[in-house]
Structure 1
Amino acid sequence: MAAPAWRPAGGPRSPVPFPGHRTAAVVSGAALFAGVAGLGAGCGGPDAADASRSGAPTDGGTLRVVGSSDVEHLDPASAESVGARGLDRTFARTLFGTLASNVFAETVPVRPDVAERLPTRANGGISGDALTYTVRLRGDVLWDTAPPRPVTAADFVRGFKRLCNPAAPSAGLGYFTATLRGMDAYCRGYARLGGPGIGAATSGSAADDARAAAALAAYQNAHDIEGIRAADDRTLVFRLVRPASDFLSLLTLGYTAAAPREYDAYVPDGPVFRRHTVSDGPYRITQYRPGTSYLLTRNPAWRPGSDPLRERHVDRIWITLGQDSAEAVQQQLESGSADLAWDQPVPPSALPRLRAAHDPRFAVREAPSTSPYLVFNLRSPNNGHALADRDVRRALAYAVDRSLLVKIVGGPAVARPLHTVIPPGTTGYAPADPFPTPGDSGDPATCRRLLAAAGHPGGLTLRFPFRVNSVHRLIAESLAQDLAGCGVRTVLFPDTGGGFYARTISDPARGAAGHWDIAAPGWTPDWYGANGRSVLLPLLSGRSLGAGSTNYGGYENPQVDALIDRALTATSEARAAELWRRADRIATQDAAILPLLDRAHTVFMSSRVRNARFLPTTAGYDYTRVYLAR
């Protein structure tokens, strides 16, 4: 989930995960693409350039990636941003996944990764009642250990057990407590283990870390999850609470990556863990300097024939962090001193020039998203708990000038105004605008009138943290100016060091203490196709509240939760879509969050990059597919 250039994933974000294990779902994904393709999809970029390149890929060299903030979580169990998803894809593999492609529809279908094949009713992998899934693993996937050893079904079971560890719980946990038998009970028991030295991913000493890691591992090894077991080293059996047509999509999420037994020795996502990741992918993290850089080198245990989704061409991937200026990053890419951007889209100021020149290094890639959106901290005690009042939030909804935000991020070829939580290209989307303003430019007079009627004629003062990379500062300043038009003062403060998602807005205690009132995160769905679950449940479900939740503002509405439950158990995709629409309608009328833009991704590569292939849920090119011109 949603992050991160766009989402914490997505959102759980964002990132970053896909659907379509049945033919119907693949068709659905293609249809969704057709509905959103008008937003500059595939404009320029590697498609045309690659067409002129023939011959075998060249191996070797260093891929240089440059950007701003470190990931909020490196551990695949809790990694939720699009940047973290792109990084984890290089060293952490899941049972199923999706293929990077510059054709959006090709990125939608679920494909085998560590699994030998997609389970179906026809091949016996899915039971007649759709409650049991049997997955057979490939036998040639190896851990980068000394000596290398096979990735087993028990490693995947361990991965699921780590999802609800109290040190760094997964933002995607709700997906699995709602689907896997016994997962909720297992996690409730695990949560009771929290306490000093355990309830945080960092602690004061090596001895504390060791004790906490031992306690966490002891719980995991002493307790089973009813709904997942290793029948043997190469066979996993999943048992569901109820049929879930998107279950294979859930198994593409990076959260579900296999976890080697070595991880039992470390606090999940803690500083020691981050220095000791173990790879079953084409690359391994050789050097990590927090907030500064990553060096990835080839994993000697990986073999091309063992991996249907990735390749491996460059010798090294060097990721340099700490460069918050999108313009500076762009300059490096164009001059050839760097190859790809880590978390920075092309700066809007450069877009007209690149379009006019038909620069083949530039592209606009489609990835429907709610990015950014304005989230209200309903827990905040500031202003007499004003943001907990639905009428106050509805008043503020009229303040926003979306037309200016579109200009800030690059114009209508890059983004369009969004008024629903569910973006186009996502199950349940239906155009609606509960707070219309002329030309999407805001209505400060209506905002002031409604705010006074809600008991705040003198306005409010709102604390507003913002991300420092890309155009987030400009977006925050634009929103602050909009709010000033209806008498609302904002206290803007930069959130540096990659802590925006991990600490500032996802920590319920900080929210309850009033450390922030509004924020502008982004959310990219965790998968596309039949993906209604991947937006409303993580962003607005009252049952997903707690540490690490991506329901940042603490919104709870029993009607929305009930509609989510009904959508998850719907007997047809059409029925599910209608229920998602109804839940969206209630949440948007509540102004639980304020959707702002459906935004495509602007990407650029250096002149020496070849075979750049886009993965929407990572908001970037797949590092494992790239090779370099010599």
Structure 2
Amino acid sequence: MAREVIKVTAGLAGLAVGLSGCGGGDSARGADGPPRDGGTLRVVGSSDVEHLDTASVASVGAYGLSRTYARTLFGSRASNEFSETVPVQADVAARIPTRENGDISKDGRTYTVRLRKGVQWNTRPVRPVTAHDFVRGLQRLCNPASPSASKGYFTSTLKGMDDFCRGFGGVDAADPAAIARYQREHAVEGVEAKDDETLVFRLERPASDFLNLLALPSTAAAPQEYDRYVPDGRDFRQHTISDGPYQIAEYRPGLSYLLTRNPAWRPESDPLRERHVEKIQITLGQDSAEAVQRQLEQGSADLAWDQPVPTQDVSRLRDDPRFAIRDTPSNSPYLVFNTRSPNNGGALGDREVRRALEYAVDRSALIKIVGGPSVAEPLHTVIPPGNAGYAPADRYPTPGESGDPAKCRELLGKAKHPRLTLKFPYRTNSVHKLIAQSIAQNLAACGVKAELSPDTGGSFYSSTIGTPAKAQEGVWDIAAPGWTPDWYGNNGRSIIQPLFDGRTYGPNSTNYGGYDNFQVNGLIDSALTAPDPARAAGYWQLADQKIMEDAAIVPLLDRAHTIFRSDRVRGAVFLPTAASYDYTRLWLAG
């Protein structure tokens, strides 16, 4: 997704439609007739987002929500044709930088980005979004209070970003004045606001995916008012400011959001979003996917927030025009080992123990749980099909994808850990409880006891598995998170680097298990400095092989997203990285 309004890369071109998809592209949207304005979109679901501050958003739910109120230099266009969502598009940037138009230097290390006019904050009085706001947004990626999981993308790319972040880490995380002062008094060498409407980026080395990085929600512009609050803190979450079509009018943590129209937004300034519904009401705390589905079918709600269609309803809804299976090539879920856990004598730090547990899982049972082979396929690599660096492999094969408990027990015995007790927190929304129970049964067949515990309130990522101190205390041993790439196309670094670069391990890191292998770190560096995407893909593939050799995780499923909309919803177009329809482009029937 880098370079100009680009072509799909070789890694994606072979995808086509990897899993069975329903519905067409924007032509399906056109079939709904001209958009109608007004009404309240009612969205219902389970858990709050882990982070509301754009600097630290890291989940598909937060991606979909932040798109309504926070804009980036570049972005992607929602579509029901997967390939149409891949190319980088201009958002606040006036155009896509290329060598041909002079906005990328001949050596590929300097990017000039010019801002479009008419993008405004909903402040009083209204004021323009400037290049300085984007500089502030990038600086906030490595704030000490809630650092971004994406910061590794930039410390390895932008000149001076690593030094800036190292210094920032020493600032008092509870003092917003000290945080703001550090930002004012220190600059990132590679990020410059030449004037209010021009940004200049200087890279350590050419990066063919740099525009993809600038499309991440975490790089959104940040107004000067954000300097008043601890990043992503309680006060911050009550004072978000918008430059998108909607604004957060009311936020009740863990309970609800009310989004209303942003009066400062102008449609002619926004090439990616529209605005049709009057309000968006998001109601949380509904953990039952079945209850959510009933509301959608009965018309008391319009979209699910974080619940796919219940498995038992997939076949019944197959021919319902309100139902769709949308492509989201992903590693979702996967089983991660806490390699830092002191439990069981530090057994999960032993590669041979982890290799034994690779044989435990019955993927065929998991496929049934999520909806069958039209929804998911077994996955045995870190990188899923349709992503840069993917190559089919199965280092730990089992008969019929159903696990091999005898092999698991044999290898645990050889590793001198025949009996393990593993703490296993799980998410409560969707089918995650059923997945955890299935895996626990598989482990029991290996002689391993899994102690299941529900993790509610949106704390699974932000607190339980995303906090190194809890990992090192042994609060958890195994978990089943999911990973949807931050972008598609030229996206090798969007999987391997955030999940397995040992140098990025720390608060809010997505390297949940604390995996650290100097060979993998070196392959990451080689991929990032490769002269072209094809060469980079080779290094990502080698890193994948090494990670699986070390059994850092157990890949489980490459899973599509099942989605349903109420009778009222029209013009629904999909955002794969948000696993949702674009709230800004749909409308409601009268």
For residue 361 of structure 1, what is the aligned residue in structure 2? Answer: 322
Distance 2:123 2:154 in 1: 29
Kept after mapping to 2: 8 A contact 1:362/1:605: yes
Deviates more, 1:599-608 or 1:564-573: 564-573
Matches within 5 A, 1:429-440: 429-440=390-401
Kept after mapping to 2: 8 A contact 1:243/1:569: yes
For residue 345 of structure 1, what is the aligned residue in structure 2? Answer: 308
2:477 is the counterpart of 1:517: yes
Kept after mapping to 1: 8 A contact 2:505/2:514: yes
Please point out which of 415, 420, 423 is paired with 2:384: 423
Find the residue that maps to 2:168 and give its secondary structure. helix
Q: Deviations over 1:106-129 (max 9, x none)?
A: 000001000000011111100011
Please point out which of 367, 380, 383 is paired with 1:406: 367
For residue 159 of structure 2, what is the aligned residue in structure 1? Answer: 181
Q: Quick one: structure 1 residues 405 and 561, their matched pair in 2 at CA, closer, same or farther if it must change by over 3 Å?
A: same
Kept after mapping to 2: 8 A contact 1:49/1:360: no
1:27 to partner: Cα distance: 3.2
Please point out which of 153, 164, 188 is paired with 1:225: 188
Distance 2:502 2:297 in 1: 46
1:265 to partner: Cα distance: 0.3
Please point out which of 516, 519, 522 is paired with 1:556: 516
For residue 332 of structure 2, what is the aligned residue in structure 1? Answer: 371
2:583 is the counterpart of 1:623: yes
1:20 to partner: Cα distance: 3.4
State the one-letter code of the partner of 2:3: H
Kept after mapping to 1: 8 A contact 2:113/2:198: yes
Find the residue that maps to 2:15 and give its secondary structure. helix
State the one-letter code of the partner of 1:241: E
Matches within 5 A, 1:560-579: 560-579=520-539
Deviates more, 1:32-41 or 1:153-162: 32-41
Kept after mapping to 1: 8 A contact 2:46/2:285: yes
Find the residue that maps to 2:527 and give its secondary structure. helix
Find the residue that maps to 1:70 and give its secondary structure. coil
Distance 1:400 1:131 in 2: 45
Distance 1:161 1:260 in 2: 12
2:12 is the counterpart of 1:32: yes
Q: Deviations over 1:259-312 (max 9, x none)?
A: 000000011000100010000000000000000000000000001000000000
Find the residue that maps to 1:101 and give its secondary structure. coil
For residue 112 of structure 1, what is the aligned residue in structure 2? Answer: 90
Q: Which runs of 5+ in 1 are unaligned?
A: 1-18, 200-211
State the one-letter code of the partner of 1:289: R
Q: Deviations over 1:179-211 (max 9, x none)?
A: 0000000010000114xxx26xxxxxxxxxxxx
2:501 is the counterpart of 1:541: yes
Coordinate RMSD, CA, aligned: 1.2
Please point out which of 42, 48, 67 is paired with 1:64: 42
1:47 to partner: Cα distance: 6.7
Q: Quick one: structure 1 residues 190 and 467, their matched pair in 2 at CA, closer, same or farther if it must change by over 3 Å?
A: same
Q: Quick one: structure 1 residues 296 and 383, their matched pair in 2 at CA, closer, same or farther if it must change by over 3 Å?
A: same
Please point out which of 381, 385, 399 is paired with 2:346: 385
For residue 266 of structure 1, what is the aligned residue in structure 2? Answer: 229
Q: Quick one: structure 1 residues 48 and 150, their matched pair in 2 at CA, closer, same or farther if it must change by over 3 Å?
A: closer
1:578 to partner: Cα distance: 1.1
2:170 is the counterpart of 1:214: no
TM-score, length basis structure 2: 0.99
Kept after mapping to 1: 8 A contact 2:324/2:562: yes
1:52 to partner: Cα distance: 3.7
Q: Which runs of 5+ in 2 are unaligned?
A: none
Kept after mapping to 2: 8 A contact 1:20/1:108: no
For residue 98 of structure 1, what is the aligned residue in structure 2? Answer: 76
Aligned residue-pair number: 590
Find the residue that maps to 1:267 and give its secondary structure. coil
Kept after mapping to 1: 8 A contact 2:208/2:532: no
Find the residue that maps to 2:439 and give its secondary structure. helix
1:576 to partner: Cα distance: 1.1
State the one-letter code of the partner of 1:600: A
Matches within 5 A, 1:233-252: 233-252=196-215
Distance 2:424 2:27 in 1: 42
For residue 492 of structure 2, what is the aligned residue in structure 1? Answer: 532
2:427 is the counterpart of 1:467: yes
Distance 2:202 2:532 in 1: 21
TM-score, length basis structure 1: 0.92
For residue 130 of structure 1, what is the aligned residue in structure 2? Answer: 108
Q: Deviations over 1:484-508 (max 9, x none)?
A: 0000001100000000000000100
Distance 1:280 1:343 in 2: 25
For residue 63 of structure 2, what is the aligned residue in structure 1? Answer: 85
Please point out which of 437, 447, 457 is paired with 1:477: 437
For residue 280 of structure 1, what is the aligned residue in structure 2? Answer: 243
Kept after mapping to 2: 8 A contact 1:395/1:448: yes
For residue 331 of structure 1, what is the aligned residue in structure 2? Answer: 294
Please point out which of 48, 53, 61 is paired with 2:32: 53
User: Runs in 1 of length 4+ with deviation above 6 angstroms?
Assistant: 45-48
Find the residue that maps to 2:442 and give its secondary structure. helix
1:572 to partner: Cα distance: 2.1
State the one-letter code of the partner of 1:608: R
Distance 2:314 2:157 in 1: 44
State the one-letter code of the partner of 1:37: V
Find the residue that maps to 1:64 and give its secondary structure. strand
Kept after mapping to 2: 8 A contact 1:46/1:612: no
Find the residue that maps to 1:129 and give its secondary structure. coil
